[in-house]
Amino acid sequence: MTDAVEAVGLGRRYGRKWALQDCTLSLPSERVIGLVGPNGAGKSTLLHLAVGLLQPSAGEVRVLGRDPRDPGTLARVGFVAQDKPLYGHFTVAETLRMGGWLNPAWEYKLAEKRVARLDVPLTQKVGKLSGGQRSQLALALALGKRPELLLVDEPVSDLDPLARRDFFRVLMEEVAESGMTVVLSSHLLADLERTCEHLVLLSRSRVQFAGDTDDLLARHRMLTGPRDAAAAIEATHTVVQADYTERQASVMIRVNGPLDATGWQVRNVSLEDLVLAYMAAPHLTDDTIETAKKEQVPS
């Protein structure tokens, strides 16, 4: 199956500053993919490159196997931008009709049904909607296109917890029904942990890791134990994050082969543990981790 998004050496520069650099990744189709990273990491830049709103300064990106700027590709891709650009003087109904003018395969009734759930009259001016209602309308607009790939940049930052739950419910129903691929950029890790099957962490303009969420979580452990036993663990496994006191060590490791943790307390990591640890350890990339694995685990 063709990857939903494939980037090779992709980069975007503003003047002399790289917003995204040397980005090589494959985002699988028919999955819900989380894009995480600190402010300014390059998440929006990656999404804008993937929908053809930005030109790469280096490398290339392909979407659904094609150039993102091909009109044929754009018709298959939905995008909800971070600032939810909608026309404030249009009514909700006019906004939905606009979807029909812009998209050949537009499903007005479907979009209207979604908007009806928001309890917002179709005659309401968009400029008078709350931030959360605008987000929901922007999602309905993108989904009415029946995209094969939906890219959503910070969708829920201005939604209350109930609206956030509704937002994800609508999205997940659509994913279950249509099998579309979703890429979600968000800082809300608990939401991503519930919804994402695949995760990409960008930090300092580079990909720090990418992979299936379950696999990533299964390959990491948090160990707490005697400090003088830490060297043996560190010699075999990749240390992502470590905190030491005089006698104790708390270490997050990426497991490279069998784990002998005699004398250690071992616990699974949450998505939040994992993301925060890698954000604090930007020197660790997949390359360094893969190299460490090859060196330490005989095949």
Q: What three-state secondary structure class fits 138?
A: helix
Distance between CA atoms of 213 and 202, rounded to whole angstroms?
Answer: 15
Q: Binder to ligand ATP among 25, 27, 33, 37 (CB under 6 A)?
A: 37
Span of 42-50, 71-79, 209-217, 273-281 interacting with ligand ATP by CB under 6 A:
42-50
Q: Which is nearer to ligand ATP, 126 or 201 (CB)?
A: 201
Using DSSP's 3-state secondary structure scheme, residue 105 falls into coil
Nearer to ligand ATP, 43 or 145 (CB): 43
Would you say 37 or 144 has its CB closer to ligand ATP? Answer: 37
Give the nearer residue to ligand ATP in terms of CB position, either 39 or 55. 39
Strand partners, 206: 203
| Count of positions on this chain that bind ligand ATP (CB under 6 A) | 10
- Applying CB under 6 A, which of residues 9, 14, 70, 288 lies at the interface with ligand ATP? 14
Q: Which residues of 238-261 are buried (b: 16+ CB within 10 A; e: fewer)?
A: bbbbbeeeeeebbbbbbbbeeeeb
Question: Rule CB under 6 A: is residue 43 a binding residue for ligand ATP?
Answer: yes
Element (H, E) at 116: helix 108-116
> Does the protein bind ligand ATP through residue 136 (CB under 6 A)?
no
| Residue with the shortest CB distance to ligand ATP | 19
32 lies in the binding site for ligand ATP (CB under 6 A): no
Could you say whether residue 131 binds ligand ATP (CB under 6 A)? no
* Smallest distance from ligand ATP to CB 1, Å: 28
Nearest to 237 by CA among 294, 298, 299, 293: 293
Which H or E run includes 172? Answer: helix 161-178
Does residue 19 belong to the site contacting ligand ATP (CB under 6 A)? Answer: yes
**E-assigned strands of the chain?**
5-14, 17-27, 32-36, 58-63, 77-80, 149-153, 181-185, 198-203, 206-212, 220-226, 238-244, 248-254, 265-268
Q: Does position 55 bind ligand ATP by CB under 6 A?
A: no
Neighbouring-strand partners of residue 248: 226
Residues lying near ligand ATP in the complex (CB under 6 A) are found at 14, 19, 37, 39-45
